[in-house]
Homo-oligomer: A and B are copies of this chain.
Amino acid sequence: MTRLNMRELARKLGVDRSTISRALSEDKAHLVAAETRERIREEARAAGYRPDLTAASLRRGRSHTVGVLVPDLGNETFINVIRTMFRHLDQRVVPPLTPLIAETLDQSGATRHLVQTFLSRRVDAIVSLASTETDADVLRDAAKEAPVVLAIRAISGASFPSALCDDRAGGAMVATHFADRGHKVVCQVQGPPMAATFKQRARGFSEVCRDRGIAEIPHGVFADNATSAAGKRALDALLAASPRPTAVFAHNDALALGIIEAMRHRGLRYPADLAIVGFNNTHLSRVLAVPLSTVDYPVEEVSRHAGELVRNLIGNPGYTVESRSFTPSLIVRASS
């Protein structure tokens, strides 16, 4: 028993295969007489005909898929951007785009390999939420074969169509907040600077500290990855500094949470012993017994714009792209 294909369906209906192809397509359906078209669609449905998309992909050179690179599938913010973007696309692209999602875990070399796979599958576009400085070449090469869109993380010195958050402004807001509350010695626990997000957050924060005459001590506390485990390990460095900081900016909520856990372990309390602000406004920040101040990530805007970039760039190589950066907002809660 073999699958029903166009040839058989055409035989049943007494028309040519190409007429079927046209009648079932979205953009060429108007070339078929209304009556024939309905007859074909009716019979296709009744017979349970499903087009073979691997054949269509080969013929068209495009598979109606979008390759998505994400650093970490467990990260709420990335996932929210992906799902919001595809929800957006589903509503306005026919036939729908199937996501191919792959996780890089920020391992160098992962991007190269995964991009190859995407291109082999003839994706219509690639969206990277995982780009780091070292990915520029790979993505530039990829862009010769399929549109490449960056979301969340930019690549400094490279110009790709992008949908971003103004992380620098976000970092600045946190420093301003600390200054306004009278903190004189502060600190940041930075995520890996290979990701532009963290670099910009650090930059915005430090700039305002300088302007407002606040000391950043100790200066460079880097977490090897932006997780709560790394946050836990960072606390020791903060407490060893002299003078000791009275407030800390964690580059995301997971890092903040790690710091909080480590403090609890030592019997310290926030904000009394140390004020804390995170980044992303994840669900978690709202449900802590002492809720976390954090920077709200503009998920909706970033996702929508990323979706629009993908939509416009597909089959539209000359599209003049507007990269955009959306401003986040500080949410002050009890932790600061």
Contact = CB atoms under 8 A, between A and B. Distances in A.
Contacts of A74: 76, 79-80, 83
A233 B81 CA distance: 27
Nearest to A117: B98
Interface in A89-142: 96, 98-103, 116-117, 119-122
Instruction: Give the number of times this chain occurs in the complex, counting copies.
Output: 2
Counting chain A residues whose Cβ lies within 8 A of the other chain, the interface size class is: 35 or more
B288 A121 contact: no
Contacts of A120: 50-53
A289 interface: yes
Given A83-B73, A288-B289, A54 B50 contact: no
A83 B102 CA distance: 10
A239 interface: no
Given A54-B63, A288-B289, A289-B264, A98 B100 contact: yes
Interface of A: 3, 50-55, 57-58, 63, 73-74, 76, 79-80, 82-83, 96, 98-103, 116-117, 119-122, 145, 228, 257, 260-261, 264, 283-284, 287-290
6 contacts: A52-B122, A54-B54, A73-B79, A79-B79, A83-B103, A264-B289
